[in-house]
Amino acid sequence: MGIANPKRTLAILLVCISLSAALMIRQGPGTTAQDRDPSYVVTLRHYGVEAREMERTVAIPLEDALSAIPGISNLVTTSEQGKVRVLVHFTGTGTGTYEAVRDAAQRVYETLPPSAQRPEITSSRDSRIPVWSAAVFLKDEDPASAHTLGSLLERVVKPALERIDGAGEIELAGTGLPEVVISLDEKACAARGIAAWNIARQLAEQDLLFPAGHIDEGDRRLFMTLDGRFETAKALEHAPIALPSGQMVPLLSLGKIVEQDRQPETIARLDGKPAAVISVMGSSQVKLNRLSKQIRQILKDLEHLPLVLYVLSDRGKEEEEAFLSVVSATVQGSIILAVTVALLSGGFSVISILSVPLIIFFAGAILVLFGFSLDRLSLAGLACGVGAAVDCTIVVIERLQSCQSRLEKEKSLMVLAPSLFASTATTVVALIPLALLGSNSAIVGAIAWGIGTTSVVALGIGLGFLPAFITSPVPRCMTPWPRALGIRHYATLFTQRVRKSFSWLMIHSYQKPRRILLLSSILSIAGLGALYISGADVANLPSEDSVYAQVEFEGGLVSERVDELISEYAVSLRSKKGIRAVQTSARTASASVMISFNPRETNLDAVRVLARSTPVYGGFVYIPEASSQDRIWTITIAGDDDEVCRRIARDLARSAQASPLVSETVLNFKDGSQRLFLHNDGERMAALGLSASFVADTLRRALFGPVIYKRLNETGETDVRLRFATETYVHRDTLYHLPLSPAIETHTVVHIKEDREPASIRRENRRRTASISIRTRPMDPRKVRDQLQPLLEKILLPPGYVITFDREAIAAADNLSRMGLHFTLALIFCFMVIAAATESVQAALVILAAVPPALAVPALTTLLSGSSIDVALACAFVAVSGITVNAAVLSVEALREQGPISSTYTLYRALRKRLPPLFSTSLTTVVGSLPFLCIPGAANQMIRSLALVNTLGVSMSFLVSLSLIPALARLWPAVTFPQEAGIQPYPSSQGALV
């Protein structure tokens, strides 16, 4: 074990330090991964096509193609005006999923007209809230060059961001795609007798690049390509157009050509001023910290572009700040632990101070070696685990400093080794269920591996390295601390009083065992009840310096009017204290708002209240993220007819609003824009020699200008649109008089009526759906479902229609409840290890009896604070269960060493000798967790939960080991029978309370 040759041990230690440093430097600081099953978003655009036609021609064929891919667990489709968006969820992490989705989307795209845009496929999370967004301006304010902003963002910035590992959808607002618009002069075309469709066909046949075959020259083959493309859009003016008379005329004689950016789908502003906004969604495997760094690096590489960016939201930066706060807490915890170990070992020895940072350093290197990133969760696991693992160091130093010879040290280590192995084993085996959690393994497993690794490393350092450097007496850097500080008298007096209090607790518990057993049972039952009453909380907390809101207006309200209203709203918000910026994106009948604020001047809840209370004319403000004060649940109606689903959803919303549980109800759909429905007069059209396709083509040329083909050049594809130059017919009154021929107008061959088109059609797993969202206080979604169930049952459903309460939230709550099974497994594993080490089933049962009352205190604290049991708390209970048994192990082994216990005196004598290591080991575990209780940020919620349960649970386990264990020893004397083999207790003659 290195006792015989300290120099060789030091050399090995230095080699280990060097290797660990190399691993740590190569890895660098990491970020917390959001480990999810893969999911992708497929977006297909076909401008000018209404929602139902998009569903028929794009959404349903795309669903058919994607459904053939194995491993798909969920398929959600949204059809809107000119766009279909499909969210594809996979189960597991099988290879080739992206390629399969890409091939399916490409097959559907190839069946669509040339006016359809190529499919966009990105990895995506479920959330539509961006992880990074920025407002973009041109440095050159010259209006003549404003059209280049869309080209730069679409063709340079967006592709660069899409190549980043971890980036999902990239959304642009406030700018449109570059396009070429050919505006025909109707009179010039009519005078020459040429139709618009004929011009479109001739242009598409000329402006293209296609293979012309190949020729063989000897043993070589030469491929030929015919390039008929016009060099520039302006060159299209001279494109030859054949008239019906056979004459060739340039396109310029029939109209004009303009190169421009398409009118944007959304109008973006920053603090009321026009801007373009680029937003990056996270992928299903996003690492926010790394994604944020890569985005900043890409933007640095693009500094040569004439762009100015104002970052609105950066959740990766928040992750970095959370990581730095954990690093700070880790350093503080290490310093406190090092000082505590030095004090408990009798003075400030160099080896006792260095043992703590060495444990963390070696454990971090081992995690890196096994492929873990040193993120904030891993660091928290290391720091919280070292508080418990350093007990090994304390015991070894305490025992060996009294040994006078190498032989005596070796015998002492042989006696200590079984106990240290058993203590480490109980901590590690309790973490096995957490390391095998499945979908949450990347988050929870990081903490579990951190705690387990520190325990193993501490055991290795305690038995392998420390003995070589511990001499008798221990070399000290200064005199004992009470004497050095001049408070020896007060320290002694305090120690005596604490020792007397603990002694009274041990004796009283032995004398009144049934009372102690009753109190422990009541406390355990209360803890279980607290966990049940608290319920499961499955919400994800939002960003800490921004609020995302949606504003809904009456269906059909044009984006320009929405932009005016939402700009006034943004200016009003910007004037409030603490608001740094307000970014708005206006679209037809709705808008989105990103409110950035300074957390030092205001808080999240205040900004949310401000966003809701600030009036916006004709609009309704809805915040889709949960907060610390509320939760949002979705109720979905699925069936065959979307109108029936929406009717049921409206009835359900009225019923839900009447419940005192529900504070707000929101329909997740609305009526779309008004629509003019034109019916052909078939007989009249046949008599005039007109076809429905000709009438439709004429209408589209007059109103919209569809894409006739795509120009290919070095920068990619550019849509070429063909429309009539005049805008006389873009109003309702004049539309009826649109000339179809010199003597025929629209109203003579069609009948017109009005209705409304759907704003969007949502499908889930190939069935149409409509949904509502309800807002409640934080609580278990299953309780919300059960309380609303009577209201749901009153809704009359047609055959084949179903109502589902937030399927994802219910599944997450069920998974969280299964943490009880993981907790049970952890206790079973601990029982097996303890029973094998002590060779006594009775002793193992008594030791595990200390766990429920010890963990009841953090459970009751959670209930009294009004919190629910989230995944952080649930995992903390499982992780800490293996640590809380250590104090009980020490107490039981002390009684078995002294046993059989037959009187108060023998009990006191047994536990009095073990009291110093009991107190010191519990104290180091607690002080190692204290700095993590105060780290800020919602991102560190899991770490704070772990520290809370660790601190309260271990503190309570110390008291339980001095109360419940003596009581059970009195009621079950067989537990204290002396052992012939198994764990050998590690005796102590020194310690904090001696």
| Whole-angstrom distance, CA of residue 173 vs CA of residue 269 | 9
Residues spanned by the domain of 696: 179-211+223-261+674-756
Nearest to 326 by CA among 938, 943, 926: 943
Which residue has tokens 């023998």?
906
Q: Which of 433, 456, 479 is the last residue in one of the domains? A: 479
634 and 681 inside one domain: no
**For residue 168, what are the contacts with CB-CB under 8 A and spacing of at least 6?**
41, 122, 123, 124, 125, 280, 281, 282, 283, 284, 286
Q: Which of 455, 479, 503 is the last residue in one of the domains? A: 479
Most confident segment among 182-196, 318-332, 870-884: 182-196
Q: How many CB atoms lie within 10 A of CB 785?
A: 18
Most confident segment among 448-457, 564-573, 936-945: 564-573
DSSP state of 983: P
8 A C-beta contact, residue 383 and residue 331: no
**For residue 840, what are the contacts with CB-CB under 8 A and spacing of at least 6?**
896, 975, 979, 982
pLDDT, position 992: 31
798 and 689 inside one domain: no
609-634: average pLDDT = 86
565 and 529 inside one domain: no
26-47: average pLDDT = 66
8 A C-beta contact, residue 134 and residue 309: yes
C-alpha dihedral, 767 to 771 to 777 to 778, nearest 10°: 20
**For residue 601, what are the contacts with CB-CB under 8 A and spacing of at least 6?**
577, 578
822 and 966 inside one domain: yes
Strands, DSSP E only, in 640-715?
Answer: 664-667, 671-680, 707-713
Of 51-65, 94-108, 125-139, 266-280, which range is least confident? 125-139
834 and 932 inside one domain: yes
Nearest to 436 by CA among 848, 875, 32: 875
- Looking at the DSSP assignment, which residues form a beta bridge with residue 852? none
Most confident segment among 163-177, 326-340, 764-778, 896-910: 764-778
Which residue has tokens 């030092």?
600
Give the model's confidence band at 635: pLDDT under 50 very low, under 70 low, under 90 confident, else very high. Answer: very high
pLDDT, position 989: 34
Position 837 pLDDT exceeds 70: yes
703-727: average pLDDT = 78
Residue range 225-250, pLDDT digits in tens: 888 888 887 888 888 999 988 889 99
Of 323-332, 515-524, 900-909, which range is least confident? 323-332
Of 168-177, 320-329, 417-426, 480-489, which range is least confident? 480-489
Cα atoms in the Cβ-side hemisphere of radius 13 Å centred on 196: 28
Of 26-35, 165-174, 388-397, 570-579, which range is least confident? 26-35
658 and 683 inside one domain: no
Position 176 pLDDT exceeds 70: yes
DSSP for 228-276 reads ---SSSGGGGG-EEE-TTS-EEEGGGTEEEEEEEPPPSSEEEETTEE-E
| Whole-angstrom distance, CA of residue 166 vs CA of residue 618 | 39
8 A C-beta contact, residue 264 and residue 274: no
Position 79 pLDDT exceeds 80: yes
CATH at 716:
3.30.2090.10
pLDDT, position 237: 86
Residue range 742-783, pLDDT digits in tens: 678 787 888 877 777 777 888 888 889 999 999 888 888 888
DSSP for 382-407 reads HHHHHHHHTHHHHHHHHHHTT--SHH
Decide if 556 is inside a domain. yes
Nearest to 942 by CA among 541, 453, 528, 359: 541
Give the model's confidence band at 637: pLDDT under 50 very low, under 70 low, under 90 confident, else very high. Answer: very high
CA 169, 174, 178: angle at the middle one, nearest 5? 80
883 and 927 inside one domain: yes
Tokens representing 824 are: 């049970």
| Whole-angstrom distance, CA of residue 891 vs CA of residue 903 | 16
9-17: average pLDDT = 73
8 A C-beta contact, residue 399 and residue 851: no
773-802: average pLDDT = 87
Decide if 309 is inside a domain. no
Decide if 447 is inside a domain. yes
* Cα four-point dihedral sign 201, 205, 209, 212: positive
Burial of 447 (0-12, 13-18, 19+ CB in 10 A): buried
CATH at 66:
3.30.70.1430
263-286: average pLDDT = 78
CATH at 864:
1.20.1640.10
pLDDT, position 638: 92
CA 22, 23, 28: angle at the middle one, nearest 5? 105
pLDDT, position 707: 83
Structurally, how many domains does the chain consist of?
Answer: 5
8 A C-beta contact, residue 267 and residue 586: yes
- SS3 label, residue 457: helix
Position 441 pLDDT exceeds 70: no
| Whole-angstrom distance, CA of residue 468 vs CA of residue 406 | 9
pLDDT, position 491: 56
pLDDT, position 269: 85
Residue range 963-990, pLDDT digits in tens: 888 888 888 877 766 654 444 444 433 3
| Whole-angstrom distance, CA of residue 153 vs CA of residue 136 | 9
pLDDT, position 959: 86
| Whole-angstrom distance, CA of residue 966 vs CA of residue 906 | 11
Decide if 866 is inside a domain. yes
Peptide bond into 211 cis (omega under 30): no
Tokens representing 526 are: 């209360």
Beta sheet of 707-713, edge-to-edge order:
255-261, 178-184, 716-724, 707-713
| Whole-angstrom distance, CA of residue 115 vs CA of residue 993 | 83
- SS3 label, residue 986: coil
Give the model's confidence band at 93: pLDDT under 50 very low, under 70 low, under 90 confident, else very high. Answer: low
CA 408, 410, 413: angle at the middle one, nearest 5? 110
Most confident segment among 305-309, 420-424, 491-495: 305-309
Which residue has tokens 């929870």?
444
8 A C-beta contact, residue 538 and residue 562: no
Decide if 59 is inside a domain. yes
| Whole-angstrom distance, CA of residue 663 vs CA of residue 16 | 59
- SS3 label, residue 363: helix
Residue range 642-682, pLDDT digits in tens: 889 999 999 999 888 888 888 888 888 877 777 777 888 87
Of 285-299, 374-388, 838-852, which range is least confident? 374-388
- SS3 label, residue 347: coil
Position 177 pLDDT exceeds 60: yes
Q: Which of 691, 725, 756 is the last residue in one of the domains? A: 756
| Whole-angstrom distance, CA of residue 137 vs CA of residue 28 | 35
Q: How many CB atoms lie within 10 A of CB 111?
A: 11
Please give the share of the chain, as a percent, with pLDDT higher than 70: 80
pTM of the model: 0.71
8 A C-beta contact, residue 915 and residue 989: no
pLDDT, position 815: 76
Cα atoms in the Cβ-side hemisphere of radius 13 Å centred on 328: 11
Q: How many CB atoms lie within 10 A of CB 204?
A: 16
384-401: average pLDDT = 68
787-807: average pLDDT = 87
Tokens representing 731 are: 């109003």
Nearest to 173 by CA among 47, 298, 274, 311: 274
617, 811, 817 from 780: Cα distances, Å: 36, 12, 10
Nearest to 322 by CA among 32, 626, 28: 32
Decide if 919 is inside a domain. yes
CATH at 773:
3.30.70.600
451 and 367 inside one domain: yes
Peptide bond into 264 cis (omega under 30): no
Tokens representing 771 are: 């949904």
Most confident segment among 117-121, 354-358, 772-776: 772-776
689-695: average pLDDT = 81
Decide if 959 is inside a domain. yes
| Whole-angstrom distance, CA of residue 207 vs CA of residue 720 | 10
Residue range 445-493, pLDDT digits in tens: 677 777 778 888 877 777 777 777 765 544 444 444 445 445 555 556 7
Tokens representing 184 are: 């025909």
Of 146-155, 183-192, 310-319, which range is least confident? 146-155
600 and 715 inside one domain: no
* Furthest CA-CA distance within the chain: 123
Of 224-233, 279-288, 308-317, which range is least confident? 279-288
**Structure-model confidence comparison of residues 230 and 540, the more confident one:** 230
| Whole-angstrom distance, CA of residue 895 vs CA of residue 305 | 76
Q: Which amino acid is at 434?
A: L
Decide if 311 is inside a domain. no
| Whole-angstrom distance, CA of residue 848 vs CA of residue 429 | 14
Nearest to 956 by CA among 876, 875, 883: 883
Q: Helix count (H) and strand count (E) of the chain?
A: 34, 31
pLDDT, position 3: 59
843 and 944 inside one domain: yes
Residue range 604-618, pLDDT digits in tens: 888 988 998 898 888
- In terms of DSSP bridges, do strands 178-184 and 716-724 run parallel, antiparallel, or are they unpaired? parallel
Burial of 789 (0-12, 13-18, 19+ CB in 10 A): exposed
Between the two ends of the chain, the Cα-to-Cα distance in Å is 29
913 and 811 inside one domain: yes
869 and 965 inside one domain: yes
Which residue has tokens 């050159």?
140
Give the model's confidence band at 821: pLDDT under 50 very low, under 70 low, under 90 confident, else very high. Answer: confident
